[in-house]
Chains A and B, each alone.
Chain A
Amino acid sequence: MTHAAISTRAVAVREDRVVGTRPAVRYLVGAIAIFISALMLAPIVLSFFASIKSSADASAVPPTYLPYSFSFENYQKIIDYQAGLWTYVGNSLAVAALAIVFVIVLAVPAGYGLARFHFRGKEVLFLLLLLPLMIPYQALLTPIYLMFAKIGLANSQIGLAIIHTILQVPFSVYLMRNGFESVPKELEEAAVIDGGSSFQCFTQVSLPLVLPGIVTIALFAFITSWNEFLAALIVMNKETAFTVPIMLVSVRTGHLGAVDWGTLQAGIIVSIIPCIAIYVLLQKYYVSGLLSGAVK
């Protein structure tokens, strides 16, 4: 089950013959698929349209599907929101960057150790690294919160990044283990004969070959961290420490119960853009990661 199987043309031709659909059926299937795609896109497109309406039009009753005015008013408002949009985006990016670094530093060597060495208790230790799958982080937030309060990690980007790393460890270790296992051992053995140390084998022979896997775990760490809500809500309770999702809830709460819909839509679009951009640009890594490591 690799991404290659989904995207290559050779497979496409073969599949068509297997299923042997008549042209009429094929057109119908295509039409339904396009219709469903339009339905799936509609919420995001409508939100985008609302975000570029004038502030008054975005809250108008009854609402309109299309924008009849064009304005950056809502974006200006979200940029100026409280501590400023860039503060919140900066917080989110900093936490995500830290989470990516943590995940790579932890999962890459662990995957290598699991793939290349044989020692007693290895599989038990592997299961230990999968533990976050069994103990939901939602349940661990109470003790982690108390621990962070004690050691000064409340409202800290490092603290939140640690929680986001917990979420990614099982998937990332699993993926890196598989990645290193698929690198032929002979390559490293050749390097040893040439006088390389074990660490050199790791950094210079195997590491470059698992680079796609590293991109994948970094990608998932980013998406998870950028989107994560509950831990951010609990750990980042100081207004200037908010990440983007928490900022959005704060925008929604608004003043005196009246929601500023236009500003909210602008915020939603800002929070969606990095996810979709990364997905479109790095779809190959995303889907292959999903398929090879559906432990998540």
Chain B
Amino acid sequence: MNLKNRNLLGLIYMMPALLFVAAFVLYPFGQLIHTSFTDTSLLGGGKWVGLANYTKIFFGDPTFWKALWFTVKYTLIITPILMILGYLLALLTAQNNRILQFARGVIFMPVVIGLGTSSLLWFWLFDQQVGLFDKALVDLHIASKMIVWFTNVDWALAGVIISVTWKVVGFGMILFVAAIQSISREVSEASMIDGASYWQRVRLIYLPLTARTVLLVTLISAIGSMLAFEQLYIMTGGGPRGLTFTSVYWIYQNAFIKFQLGYGAALSVVLTAIIMLAAAIQIALTARRATQ
């Protein structure tokens, strides 16, 4: 077999995956853009309306902007919490002994549980009547009475952040531990001989040498938060007074509750533009790491 034919084989091996992505990602993406210029609803429609949906987003839908702002606020608050806690947990458990390996396993465990399930679990823990998290706060004299979490937007946000932090903090921790452990021992030893204290080593050696991983996890985390849905759908239902809708939740609400699929598509296009930017950076970082 000559070289050219042989390499054609590579394309054949890739073909199923390529066709799949073409059919279920590229084609729907094209449809999405097309639908975003129509008034498609579940009952039919599909008339071309030009930029009407987009004008509505930018000039006639304050709830979307509130939802986007809430999503950004959520992302800006939870991402640093996840990074800092994740890194501290990684520093705490970075050595390999039985206790610390066990702790890593336990802290990581909620990552494998569904976000829907964990949100329901915390919805129960936060309940003002039967919630054991609330009861624990009262018993520890941190709160004077059972807190009502989901009728106030700030408390609702705090509750969601606590639950999601419990659920995903182990993800960053595991990646940070791996990055810290891959720092060569010569570097660490040399700094110790120079008399660097533990926190000096963290600041001057660990953090700079794991910066790429930190950046990568930050991006993965931020993208995930920008796409938040189930934690709000389950814990707040978008309330109180529609103040805790996220972008994805607002798309869901328009496309699948009000059945304004055309408008939902236009909202989705705007969201995709935001996510694409962040994801492109993430892929560039990963690809660079892979080639090193």
Q: What is the interface of chain A, defined by CB distance below 8 A to chain B? A: 1, 5-9, 11-12, 14-16, 18-21, 29-30, 32-34, 36-37, 40-41, 43-44, 46-47, 50, 58-63, 65, 102, 105-107, 109-110, 112-114, 116-119, 122, 125, 127-136, 138-147, 162-163, 165-166, 169, 173, 178, 198, 202, 223, 226-230, 233-234, 245, 248-249, 252, 259, 261, 264-265, 268, 271-272, 275-276, 278-279, 283, 286-287, 290-291, 294-296
Contact = CB atoms under 8 A, between A and B. Distances in A.
A229 B21 contact: no
Contacts of A21: 95
B2 interface: no
Interface string B95-127: 111011111011111101111110011111101
B265 A6 contact: no
A165 B182 CA distance: 32
A109 B16 contact: yes
Given A40-B110, A139-B268, A144-B24, A252 B17 contact: no
B110 to A, nearest CB: 7
A245 B117 contact: yes
A6 B109 contact: no
Nearest to A122: B10
Contacts of B113: 227, 271-272, 275-276
Interface residues of B, number: 105
A220 to B, nearest CB: 10
Contact of A272 (B8, B16, B117, B230): B117
B21 A131 contact: yes
Given A139-B269, A140-B32, 17 more contacts: A1-B182, A6-B96, A29-B95, A110-B17, A119-B10, A129-B18, A132-B25, A135-B25, A135-B272, A138-B271, A166-B25, A202-B13, A230-B230, A249-B120, A268-B120, A278-B112, A294-B217
Given A227-B113, A261-B130, A106 B31 contact: no
B103 A119 contact: no
